[in-house]
Amino acid sequence: MTTFGTQKAGRIELRDIAIHLPGKQRFEAVRNIGTTIAGGEFVSIIGPSGCGKSTLLNAVAGYLKPSSGRLHVDGEAVSGPGSDRGMVFQHHSLLPWRTALDNVAFGLKMSGVGRRERRARAEEFLRLVGLAEFSDRYPAQLSGGMQQRVEIARVLINNPRVVLMDEPFGALDAQTRERMQQLLLEIWGRLQPTVLFVTHDIDEALVLSDRVLVMTHRPGRIREEILVDLRRPRPEDITVSPDFIALKKRCLALVQDEVRQSLVGGLEAARIELPVEA
């Protein structure tokens, strides 16, 4: 396993991060975000829609530059995208004219890895996600769950220290989503990258994570960090355990309160903007 100093690689440090998004009306998406994610930790981010979850993820990926604050991975400032961080989106970014094998191997090809080695490694990662027999299929010939498995293999083959996942299972049906969650836990258990996972699904966050960050309504801040002190490996019936249900109620109450505050703030803003009749 790769290490960084005396710690596992993939340590993420955010200090007083603020991000303003451009547009006709420039606005502050997140404010004063500060937390540390340990190397090898699985952390999920939840919160009301529009609170800046994906914005924060994109900043860690290097796609967005914070307006202020410090963002480091393993002590190095994030100044742009890098191979040490891999991103998995809700909708796959596979190349439709390449087979599953060639999609997985594509990053290695761009890095100059020889054909024989990259094919061998791509086959290994397709086996890891349970798709060895579909290596010659094109994305259009695969189900949604299979496409996401190829996408995950495509990211993992580059051996990133940090895996960033933006609602990767959001478009899947419930049964496929549960299977993908279990597969992700198995892969994470074997490879132990740091995972930062954005989701709207509280059950999903609790099933997967060591810790859950609950964000406020916009501008998003971290309202609470919840330790998910549930045994691993997590059994499939963990969602009906009393400890899980208690954690879910706590998360749900926090998110619902933020949604209410967001709605009240929106109504007040609309009231202010209404013209006063003579």
| pLDDT at residue number 264 | 75
Residues 39, 161 contacting (CB under 8 angstroms): yes
| pLDDT at residue number 265 | 63
| pLDDT at residue number 86 | 94
Average pLDDT of adjacent 10-residue blocks, the chain of 278 residues: 56 97 82 96 95 95 95 96 92 92 91 90 94 95 94 93 95 90 93 96 96 96 96 90 97 95 66 51
Structure tokens at 63: 């796609």
Residues 100, 134 contacting (CB under 8 angstroms): yes
Distances (CA, A) of 242 to 102, 165, 210, 245, 267: 45, 28, 17, 5, 37
| pLDDT at residue number 131 | 95
- Which of 3.20.20.150, 3.10.20.30, 3.40.50.300, 1.10.10.10 is the CATH number of 1-84+162-261? 3.40.50.300
| pLDDT at residue number 4 | 36
All residues at 6 or more sequence positions from 12 whose CB lies less than 8 Å from its CB, including other chains: 36, 37, 60, 71, 72, 73, 162, 194, 196
Domain ranges of the chain: 1-84+162-261, 94-159
| pLDDT at residue number 5 | 39
Structural element, H or E, at residue 276: none
All residues at 6 or more sequence positions from 248 whose CB lies less than 8 Å from its CB, including other chains: 202, 203, 206, 239
For residue 52, list its beta bridge partners: none
DSSP conformation letters of 70-118: EEEETTEE--S--TTEEEE-SS----TTS-HHHHHHHHHHHTT--HHHH
Specify the DSSP class assigned to residue 2: -
Q: Is the dihedral of CA 60, 37, 42, 222 positive or negative?
A: negative
| pLDDT at residue number 6 | 45
All residues at 6 or more sequence positions from 44 whose CB lies less than 8 Å from its CB, including other chains: 196, 197, 198, 199, 204, 205, 206, 208, 209, 211, 212, 213
| pLDDT at residue number 26 | 77
| pLDDT at residue number 92 | 82
Omega before 219 cis (within 30°)? yes
| pLDDT at residue number 256 | 95
